[in-house]
Every structure is written in structure tokens, then in C-alpha cells.
Chain A
Amino acid sequence: MLIPHIEPDKCNGCGLCVGVCRCNGLMLVHGVVVIVAGVECDWCAQCEAVCVSGAITCPFEIVFG
């Protein structure tokens, strides 16, 4: 299952990523973002776009088709 990469030490708990996620795949636990288990991420990367601290990222694998 695809999940964004989270660096908890960088998370400031603002919750903007939770609000922007259309899959409802993120939540704040004790002020730090975590992935909601069982939710399929559509890799829109909006969480990465809105995060000011770089705590959540969506790395792409680049391949030849």
C-alpha cells in the first residue's frame, strides 16, 4: 500500500496536511501527523505542497515506460 513518507521530528502539528488530504488518510496523534491504517493514498502530493516544515513527502520513482 502506498503511504507518504513522514519525518515526525520535523512535524509542527499544524494539521494542514490532515485538512488537505482527500483520502482522509492522515491524522494527528499527540500533535504529530500519522498515516491512517488501511487508507489507500492517491499520491496527489498536496500534503507535501502544504507542509511548511517538510515533514511529509511523497517521493516518486522515475522509470522508463
Chain B
Amino acid sequence: MKHSDAIPRLELLADSAYFTGLGSTELEAIDRLLFEKRYRRDEIIVSEGQAAAALYFIAAGAVKIFKTSADGKEQILSIVRPREAFNEVPVFNGGINPTSAQAMTPVVLYGLDRNDVHTILRTRPQVALNVIGIMAQRLRHMVSLVEELSFKRVISRVAGILLDYAGDGVAPGTRLTQRDMAAMAGTAREVVARSLKTLEDDGLIYLDKQRIVISDKGALQQVAGQVL
């Protein structure tokens, strides 16, 4: 990744919701506290369970925030893009990282050390107010995700969509993106992706490049008919 691809530091700070209402002098003071880190695609940036060291702002690239279950299954909570931040929870609240973060592309980050974040919050009340607003918005998103992750209901809807839209070999079926399926199922694209993976792991379907092949129609019909 070329350095020129990264958003300039002061521009990122000026655009960040965390620093809304601050003047140029204050932004320059915060800029002097920033450090830069670069990651290659697929590198782990922070690991679930480790102590949190810094708040990170994305200057270039995309980062996946996820949790890993005891049996190794991954639940993606969000994708963080340029001008957005991550790793706030342990920095503001103390304790260990509740999630992991992994680079989906080459990534450039600007970091603020945890102690510097606390100093900024103590000395600039406007930033503290901004943080409260951001955390409230984040809480709304999590509540919505918890609602969508009533998993059994979603996987039944996804199974029903696959059955409804499958071609019969003579007439080709309608082509659907995962976004289309998410919109039909009233859920997030990430939840559809997890549903398809679960159905594949259970042997009901398999993914063959651009085709979803229903390998066990009867079992899929049973899943589609399941109610909570």
C-alpha cells in the first residue's frame, strides 16, 4: 500500500466524530500524540482476550472485527473502513479486548495510546461528550445485531429463499447476491454468509464457485419449516 493512499493525519482527525467541535490548535495537539502502524492483509491487529493498548483510526484499508467461539466459528460483528475507529471499548472501559481485529486489505492505522486518550477526555469535555454519543450509537447497532442473531429463525428464512429460487435444471434459477438474500430475510449480509456456511457444513448445500447447489432438498425443507 502506497503511503499516499492513506488519509492525512490532520484531515482524519478533523473528520472524526470523536473530535467534532475542536479547533485547529487542539487537533494539532492531538496529532502530535498519534503513532502510525501498518499491517498486511490477513494480519491480526488485536486479539480477543489481550490487554488493550490503543484506540485506532483507519487511514487506509478495511478491518474486520470479530469474535471466535470455543469451537472455532467466527462471528463478524462489523467491517471498519477509512475514517472510522475501533478498539474503543477496552480503552474507555479498561480490561481486555472483547473482540479481535484483522486486516482485510493492507491497512494503515493511526493510534492513540490509552493513557493519552484518558488525558484528552479529562482535559477536553467536548471529546467526552462526542464519545458518549458514539457509544450510544454503537449500542444501538449491537442491540440490532443481537436481535438478528436469533440464528435459528434466520437460517430457516435463508433455507426457504434457496428453495424458492432454485432452478430446476431446465430453467435456470434467479441469480441472487448475498445482499439480496439478506434483504429478503430481513437480516445482515454477514448473517446470511454464516447461514450458508452452516448449511454447507451440515451437508445440505455446497458452494461451487458462482453456484449454490442444494444437495439435500428434504433436509433443507425441514430447516425451512423450523419455527422458534
> Which positions in A face B, CB cutoff 8 Å?
2, 14-16, 18-20, 42-43, 45-46, 48-50, 52, 54, 57-65
Which residue of A is nearest B164, CB measured? A62
Q: List 6 tightest A-B contacts by C-beta distance, closest first.
A: A19-B105, A59-B175, A57-B177, A65-B213, A65-B215, A62-B166
Which residue of B is nearest A22, CB measured? B41
Q: Which residues of B contact A43 (CB under 8 A)?
A: 207, 209-210
Q: Which residues of B contact A46 (CB under 8 A)?
A: 104
B209 touches A62 (CB 8 A): no
Interface residue SS majority, chain A: mixed
Our pick among A16, A19, A60, A63 for the contact of B169 (Cβ within 8 Å) is A63
Contact with A along B183-195 (1 / 0, CB 8 A): 0000001100100
User: Residue B165 at the A interface, CB < 8 A?
Assistant: yes
> Which positions in B face A, CB cutoff 8 Å?
1, 5, 41, 61-62, 79, 81-82, 104-106, 162, 165-169, 172-180, 189-190, 193, 206-207, 209-215, 217
Which residue of A is nearest B104, CB measured? A20
A2 touches B210 (CB 8 A): yes
Docked complex Cα distance between A61 and B82 (Å): 33
Whole-angstrom distance between the Cβ of A61 and the nearest chain B Cβ: 5
B214 touches A65 (CB 8 A): yes
Q: Contacts A14-B82, A20-B104, A50-B62 hold; do A60 and B177 have CB atoms under 8 A apart?
A: yes
